[in-house]
A and B are shown apart, each in its own frame.
Chain A
Amino acid sequence: MAGYTSEELRAMVQPDRVHRAIYTDPAIFEIEMEKIFRRVWLYVGHESLVPNPGDYYCTHLARQPVVLSHHKDDGICVLFNRCGHRGAKVLNRERGNAKVFTCMYHGWSFRPNGALAGVPMRRDFPEEPLADPQFGMAQLPQVESYRGFVFASFDPDVEPLLDYLAEARRGIDELADRSPAGEVALSAGCHRYHYRGNWKLQLENLADMYHPAACHASTVGPDGRQFKRRAGDEGGDAAFFAPNGEAVVAQTGVRGLNNRHSSEASLFDKEQSGGHWDDYRAIMVRRYGEERTADILKNRRHSMTFFPSSDILLAQTSVRVVRPVAVDFTEVEVWPVRLEGAPESISDDLVRFVNITHAAASFIQSDDMEAFERCQEGLRTQGTDWVLVARGLGAEIDEGNGVFFGPRSSEVGQRAQHEAWRDLMGA
């Protein structure tokens, strides 16, 4: 395909390095769309975006416009956003509610499950194609939901969602369990940013505990503490450097899961406390009991990243979506999550602190974007073809169920992502 054999693609991922072409070659990007993004499960959106029948939310999967919709009988659907007649994109606003979705071009209309509802001057068409579902708004071949998180696949033969997520499903559980009702809502909109770089640069950054000391140096104040990034008295601003001079974050471990997903361990060793947090905790204890509450609120992870395009930010109680647009252009969304049944003030704080950490104007994200753009520029150079991903290689600890823990900001998470890339691209 497009100048690369499967063997050549496989060879681009070595145990400790990857070839720079996987970030820079437009031909490889096209193969990725085919062999990765049209073969695996992709996160589409959360059910809370479409709570009522007729609700719709428009987004993109693998560069294609799609709609997450709510049909009164069929429930949650994922449709291609394309008129079954001449192909115009039907829904042109991001969110809305409608009994039928009407195409602006010739007025064809479709029910929220994609079925053809109306055709102006219908008798002039032969009836046979109008009865064919492909001339409605076609549905994605596979759609599954886990605790409100809707995933879809272009591949009718894709494995079940929970088999794909495997151990990484815990990221969704750990987020949803923080709600006393066990439910979250993506009801506060999202941060949107983009950068001139490959999508994998963002994905790898989500498993990177090594970069903050250098990359985020400007977030450390003269007192050696990083800005306060969470509410409450405890677990807020924190000493950035350990007594031995290493960044605390770089002493944190990372996990690779099932040769595809990744997870960063938490930077914080204390449960949050003080302020609204104590009221919230009391509600949690009433719902789950003390022992289970302590387990849920334990700072276990910073993040859980699902290959290839989504991330649960446990530290910021948010969901991130990575959307490849071109080999050197990527859009990202960060959606703070409101915890159903928790005091409003807790969810307000979550929304507020994500502004500081993940907005396009945030203290953290802006330097990460600078790093992604400089990588994209540097990787065009022809002096060295290989990108080193060797940190902590051989020091991984097998925790069972396909989970490997790499201490001290190991690059085990990036290696897991690259293994998934190699297996899908080399197939």
Chain B
Amino acid sequence: MTGSISLVKQAAPWLALAVLLVLLERQALAGPLRGGLEWQLFKVQQATGQIGGNLLKPLINWQNFGRMSGRLADLEQRTKQLAVDYSRLAAVEAENERLKALLVQPGGNPSQVMVAAGLLSGSRGTMVDKGRREGVVEGAVVVDAQGVLVGRVRLVRERVSLLERPFEPASRMAVKLAGLNTTGVLTGKGETVVLEGVLQAELLRDGDVVVTSGADTLYPPEIVVGVVSQVLGEAADLTKGAAVELTAAGEAVRILIESQ
């Protein structure tokens, strides 16, 4: 009994410290400490993730050897890339027109600035190493180095931000097919995304590029999201859908922030 009391006594100061931390958090007084630690941990995780990835690479290559045709995969990738490039070109042209229009307005400023950031994905979510300090706000859109959609900011901390990715179950996004009038809703299913609510009469084929439509006011229009990989549904149904393969890649991203 004495031993047990002694153990509880030893735990008491640490429990009190943890409770103090909870209280400081509730009063938003732990911001500076949190900001510094979060940012440092982000960098350490990024570094260890790269080391881990490099260590595992030979194993992954060995596993892949003989299981699939590398050439076929490469060709498929190129086809998808071409489709994405075509759509991106159209988006760049539209953006070009918008910038030209701004240039002729005296004192006109681009409405968005881009902040380069590092991306970190784990089993508990996705983070970027930029936060309130850099002007990131909730709802800001994040794209990869090629301008393909990565997600949007769900929660902003002092020096990091948490993202909502298109594949997360809570994610809903108004989309359309590039170059077509086909519209639908892209819904997250945990690890995959599905295009839903496309009317039977609308065109929908494997390989079509999915871009944001802007109709939901959450995402600006014409940002590439992914490529249709398989059309789903029966011909007798009112609507059809499709499995969509997301095309964002890499750990270097850009956050689009509305300028003041």
Is the A/B pair a real complex?
Answer: no
Residues in chain B within 8 A of chain A (CB atoms)? none
**A residues in contact (CB < 8 Å) with B:** none
